[in-house]
Structure 1
Amino acid sequence: MNKIILLSLIVLLSTACSFNKKNQAQLNNPISIPLGDPFIIQASDGTYYMYGTSEINGFKAYSSKDLINWTDRGVIYDKSDEKVWGKDCFWAPEVYERNGKFYLWYSANWMENPTNEAENFRIGVAVSDSPVGPFKNIYDHPVFDPGYPIIDANIYFDDEHNKTYLYYSRCCYKNPVESDASKWAQKKGWFNEIEESWVYGVEIKPDYSDVIGEPQLLLRPPVHKEDPQYEWESRSVTNHEVNRRWTEGSFIFKENDTFYMMYSANYFGGKDYAVGYATGKHPLGPFKKASNNPVLQKNTENDGIVTGTGHNMVLHLPDHQKLCVYHARTKDGGNQRIVFIDKLNIDDEGMLKVDGPTVGKVTY
């Protein structure tokens, strides 16, 4: 081979390798941000913004240029809003950039509570010109009232068909369900009934003022013990922890022609909180749970230090990589929820996998 050509090839290969190295970054799990239900967007200016549940009656934000170094941007929404409808329990914020504005979707306890319900959660939406607020409610009431408490809003924009969908979790509160798990718990004398939370989806109006049609039930805990999902989704009951089974914290995205809906199961305050997923061909299902669930769970049985992995979202990077953003607890951190970010992959067969929970360096 001509020496000049050979030298040129070596230079090209060296440049390519340098480029790849230069464009790789390393996270360090856990991320030192004490939030539950974390949600990250990359705004149109390229900056990343993180939101989540904290101890305040409102929400804070953090910003980063690289997903590694984060800056506390302070409170972006609180009860001083003149259209405030929420009393407390401001949970699970998600922010979306649309047409030059930023929309904050969240859950809170509704002040309107004539029957004194112990759980009176609803979902609302606020807007701002900036990803760090201040956010102001669009309406002085929740988006809609299904007649039962709901949390964990997630939004999917189907721009191809000019439709927008809202996903939420019906709370376990006053939703007892007969199943093999409830019969088993009754027979053991542990619990008289088992309450469940279910994930629903519904189309919403373009101005977010109401829903269109009736909410559709999309995911729920398995009814029968023969169901492959029964064991891992029933651990809160079978471990004699609480008389509830959860399906919550849903997050939907589309890959090729398939919709992936990720969700969390088990007690959100316990060690067995874990993540699974289901797939479908339409934003409102039907969805089929995956055979490799759970795809994210505690690692303490393998000498790890992480428990309570859940309420995740998927961050799509410009280079087509996907990152799974979630909260978890560590042995040293007690009950404090903290943010983790791990790589997420979908193989040629359409199977989703999360490379975590990881403690230490994560190269992406």
Structure 2
Amino acid sequence: MRYAMTMLPALRALRALPALALLACGGGGGGAGGGVVTPPPPVTPTAQQYVNPVLDVDFPDPAVTKSSDGFYYAYATQTTGLRIQVARSRDLVQWTTLGEALPNRPSWASESQNFWAPDVNEREGRFVMYYSAQIDASKRTNPSDGFCVGMATATTAAGPFTDVGHPVVCGPTFTTIDPMGFDDPQSGKRYLYWGSAGAPIVVQELAADRASFTAGSTPVSLVSPRAGNDPSAYDVGLIEGPWVTFHAPNYYLFFSGNACCGAAAHYAVMVARATSPTGPYDVLRNGAAAQPVLTGAGTWTAPGHNAVITDAAGVDWMLYHAINTANPFLIPGRTDISRRPMLLDRITWTNGWPVVGTAGNPTATPQTRPTP
């Protein structure tokens, strides 16, 4: 089932349930549609293997980076009692949650309970975080502004992060969320990607301060959701969660689409490629529809909003969230609020396109671990 455009605000609100409200409600969950799904028997991996999920807590929209301290760090959208989540790992498999990464709200979102989709990288001796937040009504320069991309910095990957004092970019409703900062390894130029709510995914070149854009630059549209009513497709209604990686000779833009959450979640990862970080991008398609490279199957449904990281052996891995069909909801009795643990699967490259997991599905059996 596809969410109509008129339902987008409600859909996004599900992703951004206030953290304090979640704290009051507690956790837990039941089966999809109110029933109970019997989980499969436990599988014990060897010391050289792992089994999904790699972080079995609510950890939506994960981003990952490798820090100069030798650890991998993952960051996620708010959940029970936390505004921006952070976790740490030596090997991408065993993760330790570290609590709150953004302890203080920014001045321009001092009333907001809605913080989404952080992305962090180590740049020029500091850690730079981009994140989404709902701007206070009194701080809007444009009455139509709803959400903005903010920037915060820290001296360590675990934080605490402090906002720079102003949004990087704002937009109407939910169009300006899910940021991803990217430094082009070929040109050295800095870029910011973002997009959702039925709008295109866009990119704009950042200035040296990373908190503003280069003079004269404008957002460039890269990939747009399709119109129409195709209940089987994932690129209708909305697309979001951009993640760009360079795998020579191409740049690959991963994105997710349709309905991330709730009892009718219908979500998957898609991909486009280009010879430049600003496109034009060629979407992998099956006919008119975007061809997913990761869709739900078996234990795991609605996978998406991914990050990509390369291990010490040069192997690419995808971190992403998904919904466990045996424990799909975060709050008892609330089928609109999904519980989304973090999963890990290897990316292989075939004919210039990525293949994720088991033929494009999340793995549920023991897999060979990454090389730390």
Check whether TM > 0.5: yes
Q: Which residue of 1 aligns with 2:58?
A: 34
Q: Which residue of 1 aligns with 2:257?
A: 265
Q: Distance in 2 between matches of 1:216 and 1:83?
A: 26
**Counterpart of 2:21?**
none
Q: Note the C-alpha offset of 1:26.
A: 2.0
Offset at residue 198 of structure 1 (A): 1.8
User: Which entry has the higher C-alpha Rg, 1 or 2?
Assistant: 1
Among residues 218, 221, 224, which one is paired with 1:220 in the alignment? 224
Q: Please name the residue that 1:295 is paired with.
A: 293
* Alignment-derived partner of residue 268 in structure 2: 274
Question: Within 5 Å, which residues of 2 pair with 1:176-187?
Answer: none
Kindly state the Cα deviation for residue 268 of structure 1 after the two structures are TM-superposed: 1.4
Q: CA deviation at 1:362?
A: 1.9
Q: Kindly state the Cα deviation for residue 233 of structure 1 after the two structures are TM-superposed.
A: 2.6
How many Å separate the matches in 2 of 1:83 and 1:215?
Answer: 22
Q: CA–CA distance in 2 between the matches of 1:45 and 1:363?
A: 25
Which residue number corresponds to residue 21 of structure 1? none
Correspondence 1:301-316 to 2 at 5 A: 304-316=298-310
**1: distance between equivalents of 2:67 and 2:247?**
21
Q: Is 2:364 aligned against 1:359?
A: yes
Question: SS of the residue aligned with 2:280?
Answer: coil
RMSD: 2.5
Letter aligned with residue 133 of structure 2: A
Take 1:234 and 1:208, find their aligned partners in 2: how far apart are those partners?
30
Distance change >3 Å, CA 85–CA 332, structure 1 → 2:
same
Shift of 1:116: 6.8
- Secondary structure of residue in 2 paired with 1:37: coil
1:146 shift after superposition: 4.7
Structure 1 Cα separation of the partners of residues 199 and 241 of structure 2: 11
2:49 partner letter:
Q
> How many residues are aligned here?
299
**Which consecutive aligned stretches of 4+ in structure 1 deviate over 3 angstroms post-superposition?**
80-86, 113-117, 145-149
Q: Point out where structure 2 has 5 or more consecutive residues left out of the alignment.
A: 1-46, 329-337
8 A Cα contact 1:224 1:230, kept in partner: no
Q: Tell me, what secondary structure is at the counterpart of 2:241?
A: strand
Write the distance in 2 (CA, Å) between the matches of 1:80 and 1:91: 13
Q: Deviations over 1:41-87 (max 9, x none)?
A: 12112211111012246212111112222222121213355676572
1:232 is aligned to 2:225: no
TM-score by length of 2: 0.74
Secondary structure, counterpart of 2:100 in structure 1: strand
Distance 2:199 2:207 in 1: 25
Structure with bigger strand share is 1
Change (3 A) 1:224 1:272: closer
Question: Quick one: which amino acid aligns to residue 368 of structure 2?
Answer: T
Larger relative contact order, structure 1 or 2 (CA cutoff 8 Å, min sep 6): 2
Task: Quote the residue 1:156 is aligned against.
Answer: 182
Deviation (angstroms), 1:312: 0.6
2: CA distance, partners of 1:218 / 1:133 = 32
Deviations for 1:200-220, whole angstroms, at most 9, x for unmatched residues? 111111102322311011001
Distance 2:155 2:325 in 1: 40
In 2, distance between residues paired with 1:74 and 1:206? 30
Q: Output the CA distance in 1 between the equivalents of 2:251 and 2:105.
A: 38
